[in-house]
Every structure is written in structure tokens, then in C-alpha cells.
Structure 1
Amino acid sequence: MTAPLFKGVITALITPLRDGKVDEAAFNALVERQIAAGVHGLVPMGTTGESATLHPEEHHRVVELCVNVAAGRVRVIAGAGASATDKAIDLARRAKAVGADGALIVTPYYNRPSQEGLFQHFHAVAEAVQLPVLLYNVPGRTGVDLANETVERLAGHPNIVGIKDATGDMARISRMRAAPAMDGFALISGDDPSWLGYMAHGGHGVISVTSNVAPEGMVALYDAVMSGDLESARLWQDRLIALHRALFLDASPAPSKYALARLGLCGEELRLPLTPCNEAVKPAIDEAMRTAGLI
């Protein structure tokens, strides 16, 4: 079996904002905190990074900052998804130019392409840019599901190295692993509450929202799984499960920014149409943070 290029706990970073602009000092500090906690990778400019509302130059700057601060200590997988294939190619090229280790490409949202359209989209990006591509399937946000059969077709391309699966469908990964083309293909969960189960089904890690707030706990859970200590893994899951839920009680990443503000790490500011975390859900986030041993 070939080892996957990407594995472990990979944080889908928030992008701190201050007075309408990217708070670069806070972002750099967040990256350092993640690396000190032992995460295995970082995703700047994914969904959690508010990629949909940042301007193109802000997007490129955040990726560049992450690469520069990480300085090769962990892998950086730049968010480079777009509804238009040409735009995704441009984002991936810019990520490669600043030294990113890979590109996370989400299924094109809103226009809901066919499976053939999805295949052609990802194939075109992989052909255009010599950079490892991680597919991203999140039908709850994009309105389109990347079928296993399409993933298996794409896995034959040398630049397409894995998938972030945010469907929460545990049976899907077992069916996917059975395909011969999947040897060495990174199978990464994109769903924090179910990633322990995903690992049990043969997954290689998680691209996580929760690890913004609790990176040490997420790394401890991963380490427990990898050492075969399922009892410890379940104990960590029990500590974190309320936080997994709480960070989606309002539109993400508003709850994550609130939690990080409670830890004194950044402000709560978001960019419209996203708004700061609803006051009504903050007590539940506080309680989840206490359960996780964060406050």
C-alpha cells in the first residue's frame, strides 16, 4: 500500500479580520499556535476562511502568509475552489507560485454540473497546474454530490491525490477503498463529528473546523487512533463532540471566531453576509469549551 501525501489533522483556518481588513498579525499567530499544537497541515482560504467573501488579492495574500509562516514545518493546502474552472485554475496557479503544497478544489457550487462536468472540471485543473489536488465534496453547501465512480476516474490522474469528504456517509469510504485506483489516495474526512468513524473505515485524517479552537485535542484523538488505543480515542471524542456541534450552531465560522475571541486570539469580525455569532448560542459554545478543557 502506498502512503497518502496528505494525512492527519489538517486545520481549515479561519481568517481573522479587523476593521474590514485581514488581521495579518492575528493570522500569523494562529498559524504558529496550530503548528505548536502538532497539527499535520493547514488549509488557508477554504470555506472556513471566508473565501467566498474575500477579494482575490486578499485570498492570495492569506495563502502566501500561511506558506511563509509555516515555512515547510507542515503542509499547506490552499483553498482554490471556484464555480468557474478558469478561476479555479488561476487560484491553483497562484497557490503554487507562493509555495503551497497542494490545492483544495471544491465541487463547483450553484451551477450544479453533471458528473461528466465535474470530471472535466477537476481534470482541467489537474492538467493545468503541476500541484497536488485534493478534491472536496460537500453537497450540503454546493448542491452537487461527487459520485464515487467519478472520484475513481479522477484518481487515475497523477496530480489528483485525495479527497476531502464532508458527506458524513461512513459507507462511502469503504466502497471507495475497494477500487484499485485508490491505492495511495488520501481519504480525508471533512466532518468533525464523524471523523473518528471515518478513520475506523480506513480514512487518513480530517480537515477540521474544530481544530481551530482545540488543536491539541484533535491531534491527541488522531494519535490515539493511530496507536490503536480506541478507548483513549473515544474519551477524546467525548470531550470534543459538544464542541463539534457548537461550532455550527450559527453560520460558520462565526462560532469559531467567537470561541477564538474567548481565548484572546482574534476578534469576532466577519464580512457580510456573515455576521458575528448570535448571542443566544454563545452559552452553548462556552459550555462546550469547558467540556473540552479550553476554559
Structure 2
Amino acid sequence: MSAFPFSGLNLAITTPFDAEGRIDWARFDALIERYLAAGVDGLVLSSGTGMHVYLSQEESMALVARGARRIDGRARVIAQTSALLADDVLTRARHAADCGADGIMVLPPFFEGPTDDDGIVAFYAEVARAGVPIIGYNVPQAVGVEITPELMRRLCEIPPFATVKDSSGDLAAQAALVRTDLPVMNGADPLVPYALYAGAQGLIWGGANFAPRSCVALVRAARDGDWTRVRALWRPLEAVMSLIWQGDYVSSVYAAAAMTGHDAGQPRRPLAALPARKVEALRSALGELVAIESQAV
């Protein structure tokens, strides 16, 4: 994974909120420091896990600016710059570049946008005018656009389109992308070790918010080719990574992070805090991770 510019663990950091639903900037700074201390390779600012779609453009751009300053070269910076309007994507992308971001993550056009390959290629070609490396985002279950191997080949012909983050949750589909011999990133929490073994060259991982040290250790073991250790490290992660993927993903990540000492407050409305019965199921699935990760904070 070393030659790929987005290799290793890129943590899709939560956006912390106070009791009134405003961004808690002091807590944001503290979380960045904790995740850097855990050894993450990169941080994704204004991520999906960080409630990108429920932030205003001004809030999202402020997160990128402040986060990049705080990180200050100690890890790579990836900014999500997705928006409904192509002009807004370009504005956000140029802002991220001005802040020193190493890359941007961009959803294809969504909510009745173009779904044909030519339309998707034209969209990313427009975004490329910002001049910053682009991570495409394959999440067909959410946006209705699938990045197929053929479309990926076309997209990677656009400089500076760099890779696709696959969050489809379909390992066979991800393996098909890997077989293009183009770099692919995994974005589906339950598939992490299998995706790395199949040849994914990097991760954007939301669940790492509540178990950063365990997740970093797993990725490093995979980098070393120590698959026996990968399996041992995955064992305590497996149940909870599968559980959060089944629904209430963002609320579950916020709740689990609070349990392990990486509290980001409650998610912003319209999302709600995880119901009590689901909190207990989550706590059970976390198991020993609560003690392991809390001790490391």
C-alpha cells in the first residue's frame, strides 16, 4: 500500500456538536489530537460519518480549514466536497486545495442528477479543474449511481482523479474494481480485512472513530502481510463493525465513540441519539473494545 498516496487508515472523523447542535470546536481539536496520537495515516474532514450532508457549506469549509491547520502536516488531509450543484463542489474543492488538502472525496451527482457514464465523467472532469486529487465515492445504495469497472477506467483517465472509495458493501463488486489494477479504497466497515486481502490499497473508515488504536494495528499488520495477526485483531472488531452497518450507522458511531472515550456529543438533527435498546446491543457488540480503547485515551 506504500506507493498509493492515500494508503493505510484514513479516519472519517466525526463532527462534534454541543448540546445546542453547534459545532464544538474545542472538542474537534481534541479529537484530532487523539486520533493523531493513535497513529492514523489520514483524516477525512466533513466526512459522511461527520454528517457532511447536515452541515452548511460555510460549516463544512470551516471544518476543513481548522482541521488542516490543526493537523499541520502530521497526517494527510482529505476533505469531502460533495454538493448538489457542480459549482458548489468546485468552490469547496478549491477551498480545500487552498487549505492544503492532499485530496478531496466527491460523490457523483445525486438526487436526480445524471446516472449515465458520460454524465458522470463530465461531472468529475469539471471537479478536476480544482487541481486537487479526487477520490470518487461509490455508494450506489445511497445515490443511485454505481461506479463499475468500466466507468472507473474512464474516470482514472481524468487527471487528477486518483481512486474510488467503494462503500457498496459488496465484496465481489469491490474485487471487480480491484481487478482493473487501478487503486481502490474500501469504505465498508464489515469488509476491512477481506478488502485488504483482496487488494484494496487504502481505507476510509468511519468505525475507526471508536477503536482507532485497534484499527491502526490491524492496518499495519495487513501492511506487513501478517494475516494471522490481522485475524486476531479483527476478532474483537468484527461484531460491532457488522452491527453498525445494519442501520443507524452515524448514530451508532457517535454512541460507540462516547463509550470508548472519543465522545463527539450527539449527532445533529434530523438524526437522533441511538435508542436505549440499541445502545445496549451496541455495548454488547463492543465487548472488550470498551476497555481496550478507553485505556488508550
TM-score, normalization by structure 2:
0.92
> In the alignment, does 2:120 pair up with 1:118?
yes
Report Cα offsets for 1:138-160 as digits up to 9, x if no partner.
11211221222111011112211
2:215 pairs, out of 205, 218, 242, with 218
Alignment of 1:121-160 (within 5 A): 121-126=123-128, 128-160=129-161
Amino acid across the alignment from 1:123: A
Question: Percent identity between the aligned chains?
Answer: 31
Q: 1:201 and 1:117 mapped to 2: Cα distance?
A: 30
Q: Which residue of 2 aligns with 1:74?
A: 75
Q: CA deviation at 1:171?
A: 3.1
Amino acid across the alignment from 2:149: N
Q: 2:172 and 2:267 mapped to 1: Cα distance?
A: 36
Report Cα offsets for 1:99-131 as digits up to 9, x if no partner.
1111001122221422211111111101x1111
Amino acid across the alignment from 2:150: E
With over 3 angstroms needed to count, the CA separation of the structure-2 counterparts of 1:288 and 1:294, relative to structure 1, is: farther
SS at match of 1:22: coil
Q: 1:251 and 1:267 mapped to 2: Cα distance?
A: 16
Q: 2:239 and 2:169 mapped to 1: Cα distance?
A: 17
With over 3 angstroms needed to count, the CA separation of the structure-2 counterparts of 1:179 and 1:2, relative to structure 1, is: farther
Alignment of 1:100-111 (within 5 A): 100-111=101-112
Amino acid across the alignment from 1:190: G
Q: Which residue of 1 aligns with 2:53?
A: 52
Report Cα offsets for 1:163-208 as digits up to 9, x if no partner.
101112333344334446x2xxx31100011121111111112100
Q: Which residue of 1 aligns with 2:163?
A: 162
Contact 1:249 1:281 in 2 (8 A): no
SS at match of 1:49: coil
Q: 1:171 and 1:248 mapped to 2: Cα distance?
A: 17
Q: 1:256 and 1:179 mapped to 2: Cα distance?
A: 32
The two structures, once aligned, show a CA RMSD in angstroms of 1.9
Q: Which residue of 2 aligns with 1:286?
A: 283
> In the alignment, does 2:200 pair up with 1:199?
no
Q: Which residue of 2 aligns with 1:262?
A: 259
Contact 2:211 2:260 in 1 (8 A): no
Contact 1:17 1:267 in 2 (8 A): yes
Q: 2:44 and 2:23 mapped to 1: Cα distance?
A: 16
Q: 2:204 and 2:262 mapped to 1: Cα distance?
A: 21
Q: Which residue of 1 aligns with 2:4?
A: 4
Which stretch shifts more, 156-165 or 262-271? 262-271
SS at match of 1:63: helix
Contact 2:11 2:42 in 1 (8 A): yes
Contact 1:192 1:209 in 2 (8 A): yes
With over 3 angstroms needed to count, the CA separation of the structure-2 counterparts of 1:118 and 1:240, relative to structure 1, is: same
> In the alignment, does 2:73 pair up with 1:64?
no
Q: 1:16 and 1:246 mapped to 2: Cα distance?
A: 22
Amino acid across the alignment from 2:38: A
With over 3 angstroms needed to count, the CA separation of the structure-2 counterparts of 1:267 and 1:173, relative to structure 1, is: closer
Q: CA deviation at 1:250?
A: 4.8
Structure 2 residue ranges without an equivalent (≥5):
none
Q: Which residue of 1 aligns with 2:15?
A: 15
Report Cα offsets for 1:201-247 as digits up to 9, x if no partner.
11112100111110111111111111121111011111101121333
Q: CA deviation at 1:248?
A: 4.0
Contact 1:45 1:79 in 2 (8 A): yes
> In the alignment, does 2:90 pair up with 1:89?
yes
Q: 2:173 and 2:80 mapped to 1: Cα distance?
A: 24
Contact 1:259 1:285 in 2 (8 A): yes
Structure 1 residue ranges without an equivalent (≥5):
none
Contact 2:82 2:107 in 1 (8 A): yes
SS at match of 1:17: coil
SS at match of 2:249: coil
SS at match of 1:164: strand
